[in-house]
Amino acid sequence: MQPINATPEALTKIKAMIDDRNEPNTLGIRIGVNTRGCSGLAYTMEYVDEETSFDEKAVFDDVSIYIDPKAIMFVLGLEIGYEENDLEEGFVFKNPNEKDRCGCGESFTV
């Protein structure tokens, strides 16, 4: 069982982002959290060019998503999605650990 999950749309977008980066050392992306926003925590995403022994990793076909070890307790069970509509597009995070989310949706609390 994977520590997190991702929808097919999110995996397609992550793969496209990695391919568009055109950096041969890119292994995947890393999900983390930072202290930010009115609710306390916000998700972060960054490219991974070097794997560390502390990273948790979820592999979906040819896409690797790493989890920052400091974030694992906040994102366990997270589902990453990607949505596009007439007004916006971007990644969406469905986290069973969230207790509250700020009005603008930028930050959350567990």
* Whether the Cβ atoms of residue 102 and residue 37 lie closer than 8 Å to each other: yes
User: For the whole model, what pTM was predicted?
Assistant: 0.84
In tens digits, what is the pLDDT along the chain, a chain of 110 residues? 789 999 999 999 999 999 999 899 999 999 998 876 555 788 899 999 999 889 899 999 899 999 999 988 888 999 999 999 888 888 988 888 776 554 455 545 65
Task: State residue 10 phi and psi, 5-degree precision.
Answer: -65, -45
